[in-house]
Amino acid sequence: MLRLVKWLNYRDRVLEYLGALFVAYPRGRQFARDFPGLRGRIRADFAADVPPPRAAVGLAAAMIEELVGQLDDKGRRSVREALAGLPPCEVERLAADNLARASGRRGDAAQTMAEVIAVALFMAGRMSVAGTVGDSERAAFAAAIDAVLADGGHGLSHTKEKAGP
């Protein structure tokens, strides 16, 4: 019973940090429904004693990899261009608006994905400054996003769901 309670607490904390990173993720979506391998990955991180903030950063990278991996080369290029065109002050404003639940009108799919990625990077930076995650985790997150925007990826789709806590 204690293991189940620990698992549920761990899962909730990981999802809380993941929600902070993906504050710009379009509303009305549920991570577990959109990313079927999520639960299995959280279980694996729990079993490996990965701290919840670090697990969330790794999951966010895999989720972005899965989203971007669905795009063709032209789509990835559009996301890269939209991401490069977002000035830092705009990213900070997007993060603040989403945190206040006052997000503005969304652009096209590439623009929306670029905003989700940019805000996730911004929030990972804030978590690093606050000491919630290390700078090495933040840097690895940024590097994973750079790589997936260049090459595509697999994300969580290759992770198998495991039963039980």
The pLDDT tens digits of the residues spanning 117-145 come to 999 999 999 999 999 999 999 999 999 99
φ and ψ of 37, to 5 deg = -80, 0
**CB neighbours of 147 closer than 8 A, spacing ≥ 6?**
153
The Cα-based distances of 135 to 126, 140, 157 in angstroms read 10, 8, 27
Q: What per-residue confidence (pLDDT) applies to 155?
A: 59
Lowest mean pLDDT among 1-15, 51-65, 87-101: 87-101
Question: Which CA distances in Å does 47 have to 7, 44, 51, 99, 141?
Answer: 9, 5, 11, 31, 21
Q: How far apart are the first and last CA of the chain?
A: 10
Residue 115 CA to chain centroid, in angstroms?
12
**What confidence tier does 70 reach under pLDDT thresholds 50, 70, 90?**
confident
Tell whether the model's pLDDT for residue 93 goes beyond 70.
Answer: yes
The tokens describing 49, both together, are 């004693």
| Per-residue pLDDT, 103 | 54
Average pLDDT of the residues in 15-38: 85
Q: What is the pTM of this model?
A: 0.81
